Amino acid sequence: MRLLTTVVGGAICGALVFGVWPEMWKSYGIMGGWLAATIVIAICWYMNHWIGMIWNEPGRIWVDQGWAVSSSGIVWAVVRFQAEFLQCLPTLVCCLIGGGLAGLLAAQVKKRHPAFSRNSREAVCTK
């Protein structure tokens, strides 16, 4: 069941990104793109990570929405534009690079920020 919710959560995220984002950008320009980015990614993050639709086994690498968005982008390009798979590789590479950089940044923030320290969490819980 956990794997099914992971697939569904990723599919919803990819569908929203490639269904809503381009239309907002076409209708409202750059501000529409930023607005769609904020709204779509916030909704998907809440659904997939806060509620827990995307399942990550404890102690394993944390899989984020980047893979779901990049694979949805490939399918979207192939279906909508009858593109060849090789034409979709730049989207895949950019999504993987962005996801990797975001993961590295999140790890550095978690390592350095006092709110993520185990000792500060225990101190807050005992007060």
What is d(CA 57, CA 71) in angstroms, rounded to the nearest whole number?
Answer: 21
**Model-level pTM?**
0.61
pLDDT tens for the chain, residues 1 to 127: 777 888 888 889 888 998 888 899 899 999 999 999 899 988 988 888 788 788 777 766 666 777 788 788 878 878 888 878 787 788 778 878 887 888 788 888 888 887 766 654 454 455 4
Is residue 17 exposed (0-12), middle (13-18) or buried (19+ Cβ within 10 Å)?
A: buried
Q: What sign does the CA torsion over 85, 88, 94, 96 have?
A: negative
Distance from chain centroid for Cα 113: 22
